[in-house]
């Protein structure tokens, strides 16, 4: 096992990793920008290294700064968390070239899954059901027209390098296609430096269902059921739960087996998430994330596992601590993402926290790097905490969420907490009867 690992991230996920490492008796190195000198992850780690100015490009995304921090402190491995360098295959390659262990998948797997066209081709070949769409990329408008006619409208134009919901445009009819195609291309070029796009059938009322997989890198892999992340704003998740309220045990076993087999066959190592749209009882693959997800705690809650501990173990060459037969779901878990944002515009609301009180009690987990007097810097994303509740069933989890939100105090900045209080009153949320468009429609009339 490693003596010391470096955590190449900040905020709640950096704390999450430091906590797992400490329980395993592993030393931790935090890295931080000058804007984060008094951040909680710096206080909580055994050692810390300042890696640059506030701009993420010059700090949390700087290869040389992070590699030097590893070398200076003697850390043997790097955990990237999510975001930043977690899915950057060039970074992973350089880490490996320096004989440092990357706690995550191999660079090749990240590269293949990071390009949505090659990801889809790979998954289809591995027997995973995909959304009907173009054969690979569409180079020009003419090709797009031909492909859309084949697929049938409505279609969605998507960037192969896409992420965070950017570079995605809907064309309801043939008349919309030209502008959807051009806008998706220019957005993709601006956001990712790659303007390649492809087409997919646009599904009208799907749910977002994603399967958690875990591999040992040596041909063994398991699945840990699914998460339903259908409550989205601008293609970004707002609330996630496990298990999916509409997924039957038979469906779970079948799609889970398909996913676990697929990653086992490519010797995938560590945690991964295979994302699907789910409509009329069918699963359609959209993308794979080769990292720990923001919403991993709901899976941890219902399966009683520590995914970060497992990531560290397999990266160190140890076997997984569980087999498929050991994994069973107990109860129901829900996570809400608490952002420092002002409603109804969701504009960022950085600033000083004058009072912070985390909820507690049975079945409540609060993952947050906030503390009294902390100043949220304006440079990074607005997620300030995740509240995760676990109950014996979905109604109990909902009641617990409402109770825990009532205990939470975050004063000094605006947060998305009032959104969740309001959502919990909705019968669609209480019954789980919604699709990926429900929240957008609700926001239009209720905020």
Nearest distance from residue 171's CB to ligand ADP, in Å? 12
The nearer residue to ligand ADP, 35 or 113, going by C-beta atoms, is: 113
The nearer residue to ligand ADP, 62 or 232, going by C-beta atoms, is: 232
HEC per residue, the chain: CCCEEEECCCHHHHHHHHHHHHHCCCEEEEEEEHHHCCCHHHHHCCEEEEEECCCHHHCCCCHHHHHHHHHHHCCCEEECCCCCCCCCHHHHHHHHHCCCEECCCCHHHHHHHHCHHHHHHHHHHCCCCECCECCCCCCCHHHHHHHHHHHCCCEEEEECCCCCCCCEEEECCHHHHHHHHHHHHHHHHHHHCCCCEEEEECCCCCEEEEEEEEEECCCCEEEEEEEEEEEEECCEEEEEEECCCCCCHHHHHHHHHHHHHHHHHCCCEEEEEEEEEEECCEEEEEEEECCCCCCHHHHHHHHCCCHHHHHHHHHCCCCCCCCHHHCCCCCEEEEEEEECEECCCCEECCEECCEEECCCCCCEEEEECCCCCCEECCCCCCEEEEEEEEECCHHHHHHHHHHHHHHCEEECCCCCHHHHHHHCCCHHHHHCCCCCCHHHHHHHHHC
Nearest distance from residue 62's CB to ligand ADP, in Å? 24
The nearer residue to ligand ADP, 53 or 163, going by C-beta atoms, is: 163
Binding site for ligand ADP (CB under 6 A): 131, 156, 162-165, 168, 200-203, 208, 232, 235, 275, 277, 286-287, 436
The nearer residue to ligand ADP, 131 or 266, going by C-beta atoms, is: 131
The nearer residue to ligand ADP, 4 or 235, going by C-beta atoms, is: 235
Active site residue 291: yes
Nearest distance from residue 292's CB to ligand ADP, in Å? 16
Nearest distance from residue 162's CB to ligand ADP, in Å? 4
Catalytic residue, candidates 111, 207, 252, 291: 291
Nearest distance from residue 279's CB to ligand ADP, in Å? 9
Active-site residue numbers? 291
């Amino acid at each position: 096992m490693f003596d010391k690992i470096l955590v190449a991230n900040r905020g709640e996920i950096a704390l999450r990793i430091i906590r797992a490492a400490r329980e395993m008796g592993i030393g931790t190195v935090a890295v931080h920008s000058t804007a984060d000198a008094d951040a909680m992850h710096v206080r909580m780690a055994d050692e810390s290294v300042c890696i640059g100015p506030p701009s993420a490009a010059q700090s949390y995304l700087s290869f040389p700064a992070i590699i030097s921090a590893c070398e200076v402190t003697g850390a043997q491995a790097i955990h990237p968390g999510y975001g930043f360098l977690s899915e950057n295959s060039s970074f992973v390659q350089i880490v490996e070239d320096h004989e440092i262990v990357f706690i995550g998948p191999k660079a090749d797997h990240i590269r293949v899954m990071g390009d949505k066209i090659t990801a889809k081709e790979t998954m289809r070949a591995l027997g995973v059901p995909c959304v009907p769409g173009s054969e690979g990329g569409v180079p020009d408008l003419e090709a797009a027209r031909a492909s859309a006619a084949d697929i049938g409208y409505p279609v969605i134009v998507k960037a192969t390098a896409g992420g965070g919901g950017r570079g995605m445009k809907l064309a309801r009819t043939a008349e919309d296609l030209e502008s959807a195609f051009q806008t998706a291309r220019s957005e993709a070029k601006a956001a990712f430096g790659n303007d390649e796009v492809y087409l997919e059938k646009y599904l009208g009322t799907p749910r977002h269902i994603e399967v958690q997989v875990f591999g040992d890198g040596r041909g063994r892999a398991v699945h840990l059921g699914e998460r339903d992340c259908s409550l989205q704003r601008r293609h970004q998740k707002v609330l996630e739960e496990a298990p999916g309220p509409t997924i039957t045990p038979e469906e779970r076993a079948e799609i889970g087996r398909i996913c676990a087999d697929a990653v086992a066959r490519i010797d995938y190592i560590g945690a991964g998430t295979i994302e699907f749209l789910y409509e009329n009882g069918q699963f359609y693959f959209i993308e794979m994330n080769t990292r720990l997800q923001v919403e991993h705690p709901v899976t941890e809650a219902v399966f009683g596992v520590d995914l970060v501990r497992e990531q560290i173990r397999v990266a160190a060459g140890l076997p997984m601590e569980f087999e498929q037969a050991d994994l069973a779901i107990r109860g129901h878990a829900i996570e809400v993402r608490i952002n420092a944002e002002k409603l109804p515009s969701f504009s960022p609301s950085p600033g000083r926290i004058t009072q912070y009180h985390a909820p507690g009690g049975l079945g409540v987990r609060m993952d947050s790097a906030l503390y009294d007097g902390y100043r949220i810097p304006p440079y990074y994303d607005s997620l300030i905490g995740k509240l995760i509740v676990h109950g014996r069933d979905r109604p109990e989890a909902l009641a617990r969420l409402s109770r825990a939100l009532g205990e939470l105090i975050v004063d000094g900045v605006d947060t998305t907490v009032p959104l969740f209080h309001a959502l919990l009153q909705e019968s669609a949320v209480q019954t789980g009867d919604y699709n990926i468009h429900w929240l957008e429609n609700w926001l239009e009339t209720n905020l």
